[in-house]
């Protein structure tokens, strides 16, 4: 789980927008991308980001 204090200072690496915590990833609603959390570590690499719409279709 991501610490709330850490979440407050994290930003989307693409647009610098706020990130929202979901169960297994962090979501940027500004640029519609999500970033995975692996072993409790957010992977905030633009190359690792997925389109939010693609992630919703997979559910």
What's the pLDDT tens digit per position in 6-59?
899 999 999 999 999 999 999 999 999 999 999 989 999 999 999 988 766 544
Residue 54: its pLDDT value, please? Answer: 76
Q: pLDDT category, 3, cuts 50, 70, 90?
A: confident
pLDDT given at position 13: 97
* pTM for the whole structure: 0.82
CA distance 35 to 53: 13
What pLDDT score does 59 carry? 47
**In order of start, what are the domains of the chain with their CATH numbers?**
4-57 (2.20.25.10)
Using alpha carbons only, give the angle 34, 50, 52 rounded to the nearest 5 degrees: 60
């Amino acid at each position: 789980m991501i610490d709330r204090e850490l979440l407050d200072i994290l930003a989307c690496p693409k647009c610098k927008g706020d990130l929202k915590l979901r169960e297994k990833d962090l979501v940027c609603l500004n640029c519609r991308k999500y970033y995975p959390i692996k072993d409790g570590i957010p992977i905030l690499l633009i190359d690792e980001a997925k389109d939010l719409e693609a992630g919703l279709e997979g559910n």
